[in-house]
Amino acid sequence: MTIRTRLLLIRGLGHSGTTILDLALGAHPSIIGLGEAVRILERPLPEDAQRGPAQLRGPLRFERSCTCGKLAADCPVWGPLLDWLPSHDDWPLKAKLRHLFSTMPSTGQPRWVVDSFQDDRILPFWTDDDVEIRVIHLTRDVRSWVHSRSRKERQQGRRFAELRPLLRWWRLSARDAHRFKALGDRVFHLGYEELALQPEVALRRVCDWLELPFADTMLAPGDYSASHVLSGNRMRFDPDRRQRIRYDGSWMKAAPGLTHLALCYPGLSRLNRKLVYSGSLPPGESPVWR
């Protein structure tokens, strides 16, 4: 009997915790994480020739390591695929994904396959009788995200360093929330603060939604993750940062800025609460929200 492929997509803004969530999910015995798989599968543009995904088709695959501990060329998931890709780059993305699914080593049990490429806007709406797709829309508190993305500009003393990342968070988060609404119960809104401050509570909710039992191993991705993340945040190789799910609260020590003022606007405040604090950390109980 053919097992239906179950594809779990982590979508949202970059630098919002997608890689650590991918690794945590991959520590569940019925889930395998593939990192930014779509980014590797997409045909590189000429201007992307020097970027990692394009170079993985060549010598880089003998230098870059996968989170499984093997070089990309020796990885049981990516090794055969990287050999196959150069002569099949004209194939549509969905056909390449089907090939990847068909060549992945079988564990003999149904599982979810995770992709965490944030910029993909096609696969969430892929309908196929043989593929079940669900989406985790992961969102980081606007204050934390803007603080992180504007850090370099602030260090250089630039005025209004928060403005561009603030507008980006607002525009893209609102766009994704609107588009994913069409998915109904196939989309799960998860706040990064929920995940990082109460990881067990948040991951139990995710497991319930995926119809899987919770596994304690998910709380220690560095020890138990069986993911094959070849493209993603560099923290995937930091032994300390991938060991546990931890929260970077440095933004709370900074002086209030433009983003705090912008949160006085009801529309932005509602969006931040809805996407980040609608689940395991109710705003009234969250020290972050206060």
SS (H, E, C) 147-206: HHHCHHHHHCCCCCCCHHHHHHHHHHHHHHHHHHHHHHHHEEEEEHHHHHHCHHHHHHHH
Helix (H, G, I), strand (E, B) or coil at 71: strand
- Beta pairing partners, 33: 114
Digit-coded pLDDT (tens) for 245-274: 888 888 888 888 889 999 999 999 999 999
Portion of the chain with pLDDT greater than 90, in percent: 60
CB 177 within 8 A of CB 275: yes
Cβ atoms of 25 and 8 closer than 8 Å: yes
Which helix (H) or strand (E) segment holds residue 32: the answer is: strand 31-33
* Residue 218 neighbours by CB distance under 10 Å: 26
What digits encode the pLDDT tens for the residues 171-186? 999 999 999 999 999 9
- Burial of 288 from C-beta contacts in 10 A (0-12 / 13-18 / 19+): buried
Token pair listed for 80: 């055969």
CB atoms within 10 A of CB 145: 27
How far apart, in whole angstroms, are the C-alpha atoms of residue 256 and residue 237? 33
Sheet containing strand 5-11, strands side by side: 31-33, 112-115, 5-11, 131-139, 187-191
Question: Closest Cα to residue 23, out of 270, 239, 169?
Answer: 239
Split at pLDDT 50, 70, 90, the class of 156 is: low
Residue 275 is encoded by which pair of tokens?
């996407």
**2 has a pLDDT exceeding 60:** no
Distance, in Å, from the CA atom of 40 to the CA atom of 158, rounded to the nearest integer, reads 35
Model pLDDT for residues 103-146, shown as the tens digit of each residue: 888 755 558 999 999 888 889 999 888 899 999 999 999 999 99
